[in-house]
């Protein structure tokens, strides 16, 4: 379903436009089309254990994809970043970043080795599209994870592509989680900014 345009008639109060109920329904449908816009306004939790945890902080907007509203072609861009510490070296740390809805993985970076980083910047981007809808719908993602190593102002990281199953007939609340697959003393990561925006609305 694309944008719903309210028929306002040819002239004021000529009786040819949408009635109030129909106009209100179109307004609600249009708002449903812009769900999934979110901006983080507080730092996320500091993650310094090997347990997978959400890295998203509190914010404004919504991370909800309501049941039965996704369309083929719906596309989103998510970008999250903050500060990272990793010991690297001989005891190289390993990290996994996932885009999830509850316990369902919608995209994963896979395992990535970290070099030494002390209070350095990091960011991860996801571009994802709903390919098919339904109980066994599909979501395709391309993304990247980058950070700065100590004593080297160059950006280091990797790209990843993923396809996962998404049930679009139920509510999906998006989340980004981090897991240290290999954790060393002093390793930690925290988000300071996260923005999700819709980049394309599919057609019915």
* 50-89 residue pLDDT tens: 999 999 999 999 999 999 989 999 999 999 999 999 986 5
Distance CA 157, CA 141 (A): 17
pLDDT in tens, the chain (204 residues): 455 677 777 777 777 878 888 777 766 666 555 555 899 999 999 999 999 999 999 999 999 999 998 999 999 999 999 999 998 655 678 999 999 998 999 999 999 889 889 999 999 999 999 999 999 999 999 999 999 988 877 788 999 999 999 999 999 999 999 999 999 889 999 999 999 999 888 876
Question: What global pTM score does this model have?
Answer: 0.81
Distance CA 159, CA 125 (A): 10
Of 85, 78, 94, 100, which is closest to residue 174 (Cα–Cα)?
100
Distance CA 130, CA 141 (A): 9
Of 179, 182, 181, which is closest to residue 47 (Cα–Cα)?
179
Separation of CA 43 from chain center: 16
């Amino acid at each position: 379903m694309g944008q719903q345009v309210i028929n306002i008639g040819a002239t004021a109060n000529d009786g040819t436009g949408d009635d109030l109920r129909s106009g209100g329904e179109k307004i609600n449908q249009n708002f449903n089309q812009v769900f999934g816009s979110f901006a983080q306004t507080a730092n996320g939790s500091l993650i310094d254990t090997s347990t997978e945890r959400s890295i998203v902080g509190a914010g404004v907007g919504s991370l909800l994809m309501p049941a039965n509203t996704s369309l083929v072609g719906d596309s989103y861009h998510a970008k999250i970043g903050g500060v990272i510490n990793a010991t690297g070296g001989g005891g190289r740390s390993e990290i996994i970043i996932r885009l999830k809805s509850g316990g369902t993985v919608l995209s994963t970076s896979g395992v990535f080795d970290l070099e030494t980083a002390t209070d350095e910047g990091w960011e991860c981007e996801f571009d994802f599209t709903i390919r098919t809808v339904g109980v066994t719908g599909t979501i395709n993602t391309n993304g990247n994870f980058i950070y700065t190593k100590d004593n080297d102002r160059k950006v280091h990281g990797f790209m990843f592509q993923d396809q996962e199953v998404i049930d679009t007939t139920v509510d999906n609340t998006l989340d980004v989680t981090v897991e240290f697959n290999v954790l060393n003393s002093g390793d930690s990561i925290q988000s300071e900014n996260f923005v999700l925006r819709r980049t394309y609305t599919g057609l019915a």
